[in-house]
Structure 1
Amino acid sequence: DERSTARAAALSRFEPGAKLAVLVPDGPLVHEVFVAAEKAGLVVVGIGPRAGEREIEHLIRATGAAALVAGPAHAETARGLGIPLLDLSDEWPRVEPRPSAPPMASTDLFLLNSTSGTTGLPKIVMHSQARWVFFHRLAVTAADLRVGDVFMSVIPAPFGFGLWTAHFTPALLGSPCVLMQRFDPESCLELIARERVAVLACVSTQFVMLLNSPAFDRHDLSSLRVMFTGGEMVPAERAAEFEDRTGCAVLQFFGSNETGALSGTTRRDPRERRLRTAGRVIPEMNVRLFADDGRDVTGAGGPGVAACRGPTNCYGYYGGDDANGQLYTEDGWMRTGDICTIDADGYLTVAGRSSDFIIRGGKNVSAAVVEDEVASHPAVALAAAVAAPDPVFGERVCVYVELRPGVAEPTLDDLRAHLAARGLGKESWPEHLVVVDTLPRSSGAKIAKGALRADIRRRLGASEQ
């Protein structure tokens, strides 16, 4: 509190409401700067630590940020944009603080962050504190969180999932939070054991990497009570394995940086529901399902693209009228872009992104289903399915896989035999298999499917020449 107050005094040179770009590696400092900006009445422009130069410049220019908080490596960027660099490795200039800025209201704009997309320039999402405080209350109820629980969040702080699990909920509970500048499975496992972490927050890819680590069984993980995961499809069988090997409950909220949570699982849900659905629709959220032609199919339980209204929603995209037109339906429902069903008990199940279906000969194949089934193969650590272009069928199923340590590489025929034994329809069987050491990641730690689609196009183009 003292350090953030001192930094807030240095930030008082900027008018309340000015934008402050923050590009700081994960760790205590980024949260200290966020709090300092809030005390000074400034709006944080949160930039992910893995953002490229093009994305950094876009976020600063588009928001009109008055300064950049970053390390000396970004001094040239700040100079080129004509704004001062506030270098955290230096002591910030002492200034005579002006009268305190009026306290931010919970509904005021306090943060701008980017979508963690894998291609193109990101859209900029507007946040109030109120939505994340509401999220915090949902988490406390869902997981029976307790004062003093030790948290560990390995999601970059500027993104929504990292925001509530590292910035809001630990602070509101008075709980310590373990942070890593950069995620790696072995160090993460060591920290969980050493710090007796009770609540872990990570995207699905990260917890699968933990399971696959040879170090997993070398550490005492018995302190874990809850793992919050999501950010991408949660592989049910690997989630069950995580529960079995740690004794903790795997929970998720379903939603996006823009919508916030539409549904969530709790410790009280039956295991099958907890691991194979995205939980019950949150009572305070109004959720609708829309067919491709715009019909409301909520009454039939879908399937349809989920859209919502409620207290977890963001304020839309900053300066983006065209983008906001895509985000909302004509009558004001915020779209998720995910195709979902809702059963009679209110449990929501995600079939996949509307853009993440492979259309093979006119039939829609869910990439999420393919990934879940392929990941059940004993040699496969992680799977990502994308569309491979095809002159006859339009698209064919291509799957990229990371292997578990010390296993023999499966052939495409091996994989198909495994899927046949599990009863998966032939239309969902992969027709291309690519084994890689490491799947590419986006700035939000999700699998970068845009890079995989580009890669398979290059591979097929090369093979045809």
Structure 2
Amino acid sequence: MSLFDTEQAAEFRRRGWWSDETLSEAVAANAARVPGGIAYTSAELAITWSQFDQRADELARRLAGAGVTPGSRVAVCMSDGIEIHVVFVAIERLGATIVGIGAKAGVREVAHLVNQSQCQALITLARHDGKDAGTLATDLAERGIRLTHLVLELDPDSVRLRRAAADDTELWEVEPAALPDVAAHPDALFLVNSTSGTTGLPKAVMHTQNRWHYFHTQAVANGALERGEVMLSIVPAPFGFGLWTSHVTPIKLAAQTVVMPKFSPREAARLIQEHRVTVLCCVSTQFIMMLADSSLEEFDMSSLRVVFTGGEAVPYAQAVEFEERTGATILQFYGSNETGLLSGTNLNDSAEKRLRTAGRIAPEMNVRLYEGSTEVTSSGRGQPACFGPALSLGYLDDEDANTKLFTDDGWMLMGDICEIDDEGYLSVVGRISEFVVRGGKNISLAVVEADALTHPAIRHAAAVAMPDPVLGERVCLFAELHTGAELDLDTLLAHLTAQGVSRELFPERLEITPELPRSSGAKVAKGELRTLIAEKVSAELAAR
């Protein structure tokens, strides 16, 4: 599937936005050019480009031995360590497609994405979500899903791949097989990952490598990135921001990348000092947490040159403070998992532009603005739509969702309301869909409400954003209960856990109310609820 005809693709290549080199080929080139150079580092492990290339080849052979063939779809659900990057390249070398699933996904979401993507295999680490890998196999089997479940163990000198099975405590070794004679193509389907939906379960977004190559070219230009950078990415790799910051750009630049399975502000600061990190990639919440932690004073941040951030609003005062205390320059992009980038700031922009806007529109992304079905680009305010080299291929096997994602003439829509000034700088001023942006993660309020209503005590529910000084927003659930029923937050969370709901979709506060306020049209007056919880939170913070 492609949105682009042959002439467009050729033009994208001519302009340098797309490439003929795949990520697997780039890894092999790095291994030949700088075999002893460090590719990835974690708290427990470091691996050179030569070792990375060898382990990816060895893992590909073992995956072939497990029955993965060209055209297979392989789900990868693991925390953000060195292993996930070796897995991605190994799958590519088999001519298969990666299905990236967030490490925090509940069994319901894993089952949905495995089904939606028609996966033949699932790869995890030996421990998944704090439990043995076999537990996930059992949970999936209870939902009628049986597929090859593989457990990966990696060190610089070897790869082990073992099979896990439902109700089976034994893991047995997978023997390697010959690699098929296939060659990946950078315009082919490379990765499927999930995105937050406004209703129901997540949708599956289809990616080519070349859309991320384009993003890489913009990051290099905006941040003046060069070979020899040391990058610290603390955004999960299966998702767009994490994908280019910890996988695509490091491989293309042969950069050393430091990975963290779980973010800690103190550990991030320590790693910056230890590895002389030059480029930090994080959401705003994470650098705000670093500001609030004393570690910025304890550790040497002087190597840090650029901070890439995105996924949520950048708070001006905290961003200025972070720059002053570290000497780094904060840059941001605006876009989505589906569209890629529409705009970005660069090192030549003033602090006012860098920190108060999402940057200048990329001309090749051809951004229009809409109000409903009417184009209002000339007004400078509306819902963005775009068409250019950063686009994904849309949603996998979801005609209804794709109809809403694209305009009638094939341009891809964002879910925000934006303003574009006379100089071409974009600012986000609102959202069309109801989401909470918690630490850079979009959480659909409609999904939170639907999940909560599965509890037998709840008659009606309304989820709203409540302000949070660190994460920006959290989810508060207001609930009407059935007569005589009682409910507290812990009981609700235990119910949601039993339903297989992802932890990221849990409400973090429960407010029981006799009756939800209603507007004149009988809809829940969420504005009143937002005001109520904001006032409560403000009073509680003041009391502390």
Q: Deviations over 1:105-132 (max 9, x none)?
A: 1100010000146974111000000001
User: Could you say if the C-alpha distance between residues 118 and 199 of structure 1 is closer, same or farther in structure 2, counting changes exceeding 3 Å?
Assistant: farther
Match of 2:105 in 1: 51
Q: Distance in 2 between matches of 1:449 and 1:100?
A: 42
1:401 aligns with 2:468: yes
Q: Distance in 1 between matches of 2:367 and 2:133?
A: 43
Q: Distance in 2 between matches of 1:403 and 1:342?
A: 28
Q: Distance in 2 between matches of 1:307 and 1:22?
A: 31
User: Could you say if the C-alpha distance between residues 82 and 397 of structure 1 is closer, same or farther in structure 2, counting changes exceeding 3 Å?
Assistant: closer
User: Could you say if the C-alpha distance between residues 449 and 26 of structure 1 is closer, same or farther in structure 2, counting changes exceeding 3 Å?
Assistant: closer
Secondary structure class of the residue paired with 1:251: strand
Of residues 88, 94, 97, the one that matches 2:178 is: 97
User: Could you say if the C-alpha distance between residues 150 and 336 of structure 1 is closer, same or farther in structure 2, counting changes exceeding 3 Å?
Assistant: same
Kept in 2: contact 1:115–1:122 (CA 8 A)? yes
Q: Distance in 2 between matches of 1:403 and 1:314?
A: 31
Q: Deviations over 1:325-354 (max 9, x none)?
A: 111122222111010011111111111222
Deviation at 1:98, TM superposition (A): 4.4
Q: Distance in 2 between matches of 1:146 and 1:231?
A: 24
User: Could you say if the C-alpha distance between residues 139 and 181 of structure 1 is closer, same or farther in structure 2, counting changes exceeding 3 Å?
Assistant: same
Match of 1:107 in 2: 187
Kept in 2: contact 1:67–1:86 (CA 8 A)? yes
Kept in 1: contact 2:285–2:470 (CA 8 A)? no
User: Could you say if the C-alpha distance between residues 396 and 104 of structure 1 is closer, same or farther in structure 2, counting changes exceeding 3 Å?
Assistant: closer
User: Could you say if the C-alpha distance between residues 339 and 350 of structure 1 is closer, same or farther in structure 2, counting changes exceeding 3 Å?
Assistant: same
Over the matched positions of the two proteins, sequence identity in percent amounts to 46
Kept in 1: contact 2:198–2:434 (CA 8 A)? no
Q: Distance in 2 between matches of 1:396 and 1:62?
A: 27
Counterpart AA for 2:415? G
1:301 aligns with 2:380: yes
Q: Distance in 2 between matches of 1:330 and 1:450?
A: 36
Kept in 2: contact 1:21–1:47 (CA 8 A)? yes
Give runs of aligned pairs for residues 37-186 of structure 1, distance below 5 A: 37-72=91-126, 73-78=132-137, 80=141, 81-89=145-153, 91-92=160-161, 93-101=174-182, 103-116=183-196, 120-186=200-266
Match of 1:339 in 2: 417
Match of 1:279 in 2: 359
User: Could you say if the C-alpha distance between residues 259 and 229 of structure 1 is closer, same or farther in structure 2, counting changes exceeding 3 Å?
Assistant: same
1:240 aligns with 2:240: no
Q: Distance in 2 between matches of 1:56 and 1:398?
A: 26
Secondary structure class of the residue paired with 1:209: helix
Kept in 2: contact 1:288–1:306 (CA 8 A)? yes
Secondary structure class of the residue paired with 2:190: strand
Kept in 1: contact 2:233–2:246 (CA 8 A)? yes
Q: Distance in 2 between matches of 1:52 and 1:402?
A: 27
1:348 aligns with 2:426: yes
Q: Distance in 1 between matches of 2:123 and 2:505?
A: 30
Aligned length: 386
Deviation at 1:398, TM superposition (A): 6.8
User: Could you say if the C-alpha distance between residues 257 and 91 of structure 1 is closer, same or farther in structure 2, counting changes exceeding 3 Å?
Assistant: same
Q: Distance in 2 between matches of 1:191 and 1:118?
A: 37
Unmatched runs of 5 consecutive residues or more in structure 2:
1-52, 127-131, 154-158, 162-173, 447-461, 472-502, 518-544
Secondary structure class of the residue paired with 1:240: helix
Q: Distance in 2 between matches of 1:35 and 1:398?
A: 39
Counterpart AA for 1:11? L
Deviation at 1:397, TM superposition (A): 9.3
Secondary structure class of the residue paired with 2:376: coil
Q: Distance in 1 between matches of 2:261 and 2:247?
A: 15
User: Could you say if the C-alpha distance between residues 307 and 451 of structure 1 is closer, same or farther in structure 2, counting changes exceeding 3 Å?
Assistant: farther
Deviation at 1:86, TM superposition (A): 1.2
Kept in 1: contact 2:280–2:308 (CA 8 A)? yes
Secondary structure class of the residue paired with 2:415: strand
Q: Distance in 1 between matches of 2:302 and 2:388?
A: 37
Deviation at 1:299, TM superposition (A): 1.0
1:207 aligns with 2:287: yes
Deviation at 1:290, TM superposition (A): 0.7
Give runs of aligned pairs for residues 226-237 of structure 1, distance below 5 A: 226-237=306-317
Of residues 55, 76, 90, the one that matches 1:36 is: 90
User: Could you say if the C-alpha distance between residues 396 and 17 of structure 1 is closer, same or farther in structure 2, counting changes exceeding 3 Å?
Assistant: closer
Deviation at 1:356, TM superposition (A): 4.9
Counterpart AA for 2:177? E
Secondary structure class of the residue paired with 1:134: helix
Match of 1:451 in 2: 507
Q: Distance in 1 between matches of 2:355 and 2:96?
A: 40
Kept in 2: contact 1:155–1:203 (CA 8 A)? yes
Secondary structure class of the residue paired with 2:110: helix
TM-score, normalization: structure 1?
A: 0.77
User: Could you say if the C-alpha distance between residues 347 and 449 of structure 1 is closer, same or farther in structure 2, counting changes exceeding 3 Å?
Assistant: farther
Unmatched runs of 5 consecutive residues or more in structure 1:
358-366, 372-383, 388-394, 405-446
Secondary structure class of the residue paired with 1:299: helix
Q: Distance in 1 between matches of 2:87 and 2:463?
A: 47
Q: Distance in 2 between matches of 1:98 and 1:132?
A: 26
Match of 2:11 in 1: none
Q: Distance in 1 between matches of 2:336 and 2:470?
A: 29
User: Could you say if the C-alpha distance between residues 52 and 100 of structure 1 is closer, same or farther in structure 2, counting changes exceeding 3 Å?
Assistant: same
- Aligned CA RMSD, in angstroms, stands at 2.8
